[in-house]
Amino acid sequence: MERLLDSIETILDDLSSSDYEVEYSSGVLTLKLGDKGTYVINKQPPNKQIWLSSPLRFVYYGLPSFPAPLTVCCYFISGPKRYDYIQDSDDWIYVRESSSLGELLNAELSQLLEQDVDLRIRKVSKVAS
């Protein structure tokens, strides 16, 4: 979590936006992105899990009446999710989708911040050591 915090702090410092803030306390990392929403990432040591709540959901731009074409979403559904530590891949994985926490956060934050984001949270046991 400390590596994730450091990576996010670096990105936010580069963006220099007073709307963005990250804090970490008692195993809970909170990332506030102003009107884009808030992430809550919570360590669950007894379960060997990380829980993620993401602000991204399907967002529809008006539902036009038939027969006008439907404008579909601009965001995808993400949290809440529970990531398990998988020793074979040395990563935090959401088992239902076989997706990693780092991949999801990189994709979502790249979309929300409108720039490439790489939080560098792979091979987590090596990062922690």
Dump pLDDT digits (tens) for 71-127.
Answer: 444 545 555 899 999 989 899 999 988 889 999 999 999 989 999 999 988 777 765
Alpha helices in the chain (DSSP H): 2-15, 101-113, 124-128
Tokens describing residue 20: 């963005």
Q: 89 near 126, Cβ under 8 Å? A: no
Of the listed ranges 3-7, 31-35, 67-71, 109-113, the one predicted with least confidence: 67-71
Give the model's confidence band at 6: pLDDT under 50 very low, under 70 low, under 90 confident, else very high.
very high
Global pTM value: 0.78
